[in-house]
Every structure is written in structure tokens, then in C-alpha cells.
Chain A
């Protein structure tokens, strides 16, 4: 079919213009980013595997209980035995880096959106777009801006993983009861005091739910980013596909699943550890 409107052309022009005019900036970002990711990678890989397993296992035990801890130790152990330890740590580094960068942007944005209806109205469709656009599409500008490698992988991951954190931060803050904010104001609290002493603590569970979502989306994107040489488990999955190697595909896929479950259960538990308190608390607000 013939194209009547050519949106793609405009996007192409915009991206070209950006690459041409901001090349030094992109280079800088790429260098700083790659160094950071490699730093985290180095830390994770050079630390003996049993220490990492023990640390994550203890975190799971402390926050999420015995079952999750047992699964963590056995699952991560299996990954090591299958010979995917380094790839897993590479993926983990990319997830950590992308999540941190995504949250650094998402939290202030979510707070801003909660406070300002106009911002919320502008942000919402953009978030919808970011979340529903097929994830592969982000790889194209990522490669154009930063060529292939780890940082473009992180770039695509950040875009894809950020929306839930923004949404849930905004939601969490909006759900803080108005009478609590009014009380703080009546005692002479400044806007900043209200934010840090009332709104953020009360929104914490919802925000943590957003963090959990972001991590999970980052994980799924990190695998896709294997297509642009971001390394890690994604590349092994791809290798399995390319060579029609069912064994390799299954093993690396299994490693991804284990990593996903471990990350999900632990971060979910972080939010729920405090939920119990807040659950009974929400009852008071309804009491008349």
C-alpha cells in the first residue's frame, strides 16, 4: 500500500539531526555509561559466586522468608552449574544500572505529575506510548545514537522500564489522604516537609510496587537488548535461536526465568514488609 502520510520520515529526520548535532554529547554519555556498567559488571563477576549467592539468599531470607531464600540459593546455584554465571551477572549489571537510571528520572517525574494536573495530562500519553511501543523499536534509535554495545541496551531498557515507576509514584502520592496533608500544613509544614514527612512515607508501598515493575520490565528488555550486543543472557538466548540450538535456548531461557523470579519475589517483599502496617492503617481512615 502506498504511504499517504510519512511519519517515519520525520522521525528519521529528527533522529538524524540529533545524531549529527549532539554527537559529542552522545559520546560522553556512552563513555560514562559504559564505564559504569562495566564497573558494576566487574564487581559482580570478580566477587566469588558463592558470596553473591549467599548475600542475595540472606536478603531473601530477611525480607521474603525461608521459601524464597531456598529458591534463590538453589536457582542461582543451578545457573552457576549450567555455566551461565558470567552472563547472568552481566545481565544483572545492566538491570541494576538501567533501573537506577530509570528511577532517578521516574521518581521526580511521578511526584511532579502528582502535584500538577497539567503535567499529568501531558505525561500520561507519553507513558502509554513508551510502554506499548514494541520494545524492539527502541533498539533502532539506541543504535543510531550510541552504536551497538551495552549502553544502547541500557538506553532502550530505561525507556521501556520507566513508565510503571512514574505512574505508581504519582498514584501513591495522590492517594495520600487529604486530611493528613492538611494536618501537616496546619502545623506549619512547608511543601518540602509535607513531601518528605507525609507524602513519600505514605506512598512508599505503592512506589515500591512501581520499582518492582520497573525491574521486571528492565529484565525483559535486557534480554531483547542482546540483539544489539548488550551481552548477558540475551545474547545466549539469541545464539540459541540463530543456531536452532534447543538445548542452549532452553538453558539460557531457564536462567532468565530464575533471575526473574528471584528479583520479583525479593522486590515484592520489600513493599509488603511495610504493607501490613499500612493495611490496618487504611481501616482507620474509613472509620467515621
Chain B
């Protein structure tokens, strides 16, 4: 088989939810839109005449916002949802026309799926979970546990075999999900928002590992995501979906440079996260705070020590933001035996409302070391604090180690 053989072909696939399917399908063929069809037949168009050719051995990403029909389309590939019209051809076999038995066989041997919420069986150990697909297929216990063990090792979960899913973190649980899919040794992996439920750092690790793993196993992977960054990182080719329609298919480069429609363009423009991430989403909520009327130098000093920061925000008794207090100032206050820290607060410091974007915040930190206070627009109360580090991470997309390196370089100069 050649590298570029077509593994999965989707031809004119439509999926309609509702009672008057045939009527809706006719209207769809006449070229009527989703909203019109909904109005006239009360049917929802999930997927609208999708055509795709997925090549052997590639990671094919289908990207779209929620409700775009991407997960529905994925479920048509192994017929967890049967399409209303059109064909899905896998390895030259038309899945849509297969009888129940052949379909089960296809799911058992050719395609495995990885789920957003892991979908591990809570009453079974990690090893038994990884062997689940083989068990369904009817493999002998010893044989399937051996294969499952190897699959777990390949995703770096050696030593966790006898634990229960609840004892593992989200990232590790998804590794089990991946191992379960790999244990079946399918030709096609269907991954439904597989990393969306993980926190960003782990998500990034898992993406790297998937790429690494793919170099070894060379599966055909269909990956669903709503995250363009993820699509660009993983996808050999990307399809962008909106309202059940595939708007564009191409490499990341194609899509970024020549967006086929306004929708894709809007999407791609949003990749510039600086313009969309706001102070409100970036800030540390409930930081350690100093209350002006309550805390003297001694207790401020203790709070600073506990917080491991050298600066803390100060509020007054009405919770209105006053300024920042720095460690050297507190020490000075203590030496002078001051009763209040009022005179030692730095009151000229950057503060923003929660809806200010990263891009707008960047100029604020050029001439100061100070963190940025996020305050309520109406009453000036302190909502949280954005540190310079997190701001730089967000705007440069460097990871933490790189930032630390950059900082050290800056200090040496």
C-alpha cells in the first residue's frame, strides 16, 4: 500500500435529526440553509453534505466550535450514529451499508475510539480497562491482559495496572483511554476532543506524546478539536466545520494563509490569543491580601513569607484596592517601628478592569516590576492579580522553562 492511499472516504454525507428526515433531506438537496429547514420541518441538520478523503497514516483534524457537527461526523465514521444520506468508505468497504455483524467486526478490529471524558469503567482496574476492547472481541484473558500491558507501557503507565481509574489524574486516565484504543491495534483511531478535558500543561504534553507515538505506530488518526492551536500542532491536514458544513480542508499553512471563507478567517484571526485573553481569565483569584487597617508590619511580613511572593496587594476595609506592598518596604517599616503600613505602600501601580486584554496590558509592565491588579469596574474592589510571568507566558506562548531562562539572561545583562 502506498503512503497516500485513501483510508477513509466520506461521500456526500448528511445527517438530520428530527422526524421529517426525508422532507428535510430534499430541502437540503435543493440548497436550503440550516435555519430555514429548522423553521419548516423542525429538523436539525447535523452534517450537511460532507465530503472528505482521509489518507492512510495521517493525522486528520476536524475542527469547529461546539454545535458545528464535528463530533457527529466522527460518530458517522464508525456508525455510532447512522447518517441520513451518503456513504462512509473505509478500506474500500462501505460502512453505511454493512449489516450489524460486519459493523461490530469493523468496530472491533479496524477502528478504535478515544473519548473526551475518558469513559473508563470505574469498577475495573487500569489493566482491565485497557483490555476492554479485546475482551469485547472475545480474546482469551491471558492473551488480552498481555497485550493490554504492552499498550499501557507504550503510553507510560507501567506500574499503575492494578489501580482504579479514580486513583489517576485526568491526563493519566486519558492515557488509559489511549492504551485501550491501541491495544486493539486498529488501523484507524478516532479521537473525540481527546485532550479537551485536560488542563493546558498536560494537554500540551499529551499532544507531544501523541505525535511521538504516531511516528512509531503510524495509524490513521481522525482527531476532533475546537482548539485551533491544537489543530495546527497535530494535524497533517485540517478540516474546518461550521453549522454542519465543511468550510475548508487543507494543511495548517493553507488555512492560515488562504482562509476559504470569512468564518475560517475569523477563526484564524482569533489565533492571536493576545487579543482575546483578558485580565479576568488570566488573574490569580483570591491572592493573599493585606488589609490596610488590620495588618501591621509584623503580620504583613508573615503573610509575604507564607505567600512566597515578594509583593502583596493591599486593600482597605471596604475591599477597595489601595496599592502594593513590597518586601523591602515592610522591612523598613518594621525597623522604624511603624504601627501602620500606610506610608510604605506603592500606590502608583498598574491596575486594570477584568475585560482588558493581554495585548492592552503589555505596555503597563514595561517600566515596572509590579504585578497588575485587577479591580472591579464599579466599586474598585480587588478581584485578583496578574503576575508579569503569566502575562509574558500568555503573550509569547513560551513555556515556563523558557521564561525562566529568558529572565536569567535578562538578569545577567
Interface residues of A (CB under 8 A from B): 177, 179-180, 182-190, 193, 197-198, 201-202, 274, 277-278, 280-285, 287-288
The answer to whether B170 and A187 touch across the interface, beta carbons within 8 angstroms, is no
> Shortest Cβ distance from A278 into chain B, in angstroms?
6
Which of A188, A274, A280 lies in contact with B105, CB distance below 8 A? Answer: A188
Q: Which residues of B contact A179 (CB under 8 A)?
A: 115, 117, 119
Docked-complex contact B107 and A284, CB < 8 angstroms: no
Are A281 and B170 touching (Cβ within 8 A)?
no
Residues B98-124 near A (CB distance < 8 A): 104-109, 111-113, 115, 117-123
Q: B122 to A281, Cβ gap below 8 A?
A: yes
In the bound complex, CA of A103 to CA of B180 (Å): 35
Instruction: Sample 15 A-B pairs with CB under 8 A, ordered by A number.
Output: A177-B119, A179-B115, A183-B113, A183-B119, A186-B107, A186-B112, A187-B113, A187-B180, A188-B136, A193-B136, A201-B123, A202-B123, A278-B122, A281-B122, A281-B166
B164 lies within 8 A of chain A by Cβ: yes
A179 to B197 CA separation, bound complex (whole angstroms): 14
Do the beta carbons of A277 and B119 come within 8 Å of each other? no
Given contacts A190-B104, A287-B170, contact A180 B121 (CB under 8 A): yes
- Which listed residue, B109, B164, B173, B197, touches A277 by the CB 8 Å rule? B164
Pair B121/A287 contact, Cβ less than 8 Å: no
Chain B 194-205: CB-based contact to A (< 8 A → 1; otherwise 0): 000100000000
Query: Is the Cβ of A281 less than 8 Å from the Cβ of B164?
Result: yes
Residues of B within 8 A of A202 (CB): 121-123
For A186, give its contact among B78, B105, B137 (CB under 8 Å): B78
Number of A-B contacts (CB under 8 A): 82
* A-chain residues with CB within 8 Å of residue B165 when the two chains form the complex: 281, 284
**Chain B 318-345 interface 0/1 with A at a Cβ cutoff of 8 Å (1 = within):** 0000000000000000000000000000
- In the complex the two chains form, is B136's CB within 8 Å of A187's CB? yes
Contact B117 A285 (CB under 8 A): yes
- B:227-268 near A, CB below 8 Å: none
**Shortest 9 CB-CB distances between A and B: which pairs?**
A281-B122, A188-B108, A188-B107, A183-B119, A186-B113, A280-B166, A187-B133, A188-B104, A179-B119
Interface flag for B150 (CB, 8 Å): no
Give the docked Cα–Cα distance between A274 and B165 (Å).
15
**B108 and A183 form a contact (CB under 8 A):** no
**Interface assignment of B271: CB less than 8 Å from any CB of chain A:** no
A202 CA / B122 CA spacing, docked (Å): 8
Which residues from A are CB-within-8-Å of B78? 186
List chain B residues, Cβ under 8 A from A281. 122-123, 164-166
> For A201, what are the chain B residues with a Cβ–Cβ distance below 8 Å?
121, 123
Apart from A182-B115, A186-B107, 12 more pairs, CB < 8 Å: A177-B119, A179-B119, A183-B119, A186-B112, A187-B180, A187-B184, A188-B107, A188-B109, A277-B164, A281-B122, A283-B166, A284-B120
Residue pair B108, A277 in contact (C-beta under 8 Å): no
Q: Are A188 and B119 in contact (CB under 8 A)?
A: no
CA of A180 to CA of B109, assembled, Å: 19
Report the bound CA distance from A229 to B309 in whole Å: 81
B80 and A197 contact, CB distance less than 8 A: no
Residue B298 interfacial (CB < 8 Å): no
B295 contacts chain A at the CB level, 8 A cutoff: no
Give B114-156 interface residues, CB cut-off 8 Å to A.
115, 117-123, 132-133, 135-137
Are B80 and A277 touching (Cβ within 8 A)?
Answer: no
Given contacts A183-B113, A189-B136, A277-B122, contact A284 B105 (CB under 8 A): no
Whether A183 contacts B136 by the Cβ 8 Å rule is no
Docked CA distance A281–B120 (Å): 10
B80: which A residues are within 8 A, CB to CB? 182, 185-186
Residue in chain A with minimal CB distance to B134 = A187
Write out the residue numbers on chain A whose beta carbons fall within 8 Å of the beta carbon of B105: 188
The 8 Å CB contact of B121, one of A182, A190, A198, A274, is A198
Cα distance A284–B106 in the bound complex, in angstroms: 30
Most buried by B among A182, A185, A187, A287: A187
A199 smallest CB distance to B (angstroms): 11
Report the minimum CB–CB distance from A213 to chain B (whole Å).
22
Cβ-neighbour of B119 out of A182, A190, A274, A288 (below 8 A): A182
The answer for the CA separation of A265 and B82 in the assembled complex, in Å, is 48
Q: Nearest chain-B residue to A186 (Cβ)?
A: B113
- Report how far A45 CA is from B137 CA in the complex, Å: 49
Contact of A288 among B106, B132, B197 (CB under 8 A): B197
Q: Determine how close the nearest CB of chain B comes to the CB of A256; give it in whole angstroms.
A: 36
Q: Which single residue of chain B is at the shortest CB-CB distance from A204?
A: B123
Instruction: Give B100's nearest chain A residue, CB to CB.
Output: A190
Q: How far is the CA of A88 from the CA of B118 in the complex (A)?
A: 50
A285–B170 Cα distance when bound, in Å, is 11
> Chain B nearest CB: distance from A27 CB in Å?
45
Q: In the complex, A282 Cα to B123 Cα: how many Å?
A: 11
Q: Please indicate the chain B residues that have their CB under 8 angstroms from the CB of A186 in the complex.
A: 78, 80, 107, 111-113, 115, 190
B317–chain A nearest beta-carbon distance, Å: 37
Query: In this complex, what residue of B is CB-closest to A182?
Result: B80
Q: Is the CB of A187 within 8 A of B108?
A: yes
**Set of chain A residues within 8 Å of B109, measured between Cβ atoms:** 188
B106, B111, B119, most chain A CB atoms within 10 A? B119
Most-contacted residue by chain B among A186, A201, A283 (CB, 10 A): A186
Per the bound structure, the CA–CA distance linking A180 and B124 in Å amounts to 13
Closest residue on chain A to residue B103 by CB atoms: A188
Compute how far the CA of A117 lies from the CA of B170 in the bound complex, rounded to whole angstroms: 35
* Pairwise interchain contact B164-A187, C-beta atoms closer than 8 A: no
For A188, what are the chain B residues with a Cβ–Cβ distance below 8 Å?
104-109, 133, 136-137
Which residues of the partner chain A approach B121 to less than 8 Å between Cβ atoms?
180, 197-198, 201-202
Contact with A along B156-190 (1 / 0, CB 8 A): 00000000111000100100000010001000001
Question: Are A180 and B119 in contact, with the CB atoms below 8 A?
Answer: yes
Specify which chain A residues have a CB less than 8 angstroms from the CB of B170 in the assembled complex.
Answer: 287
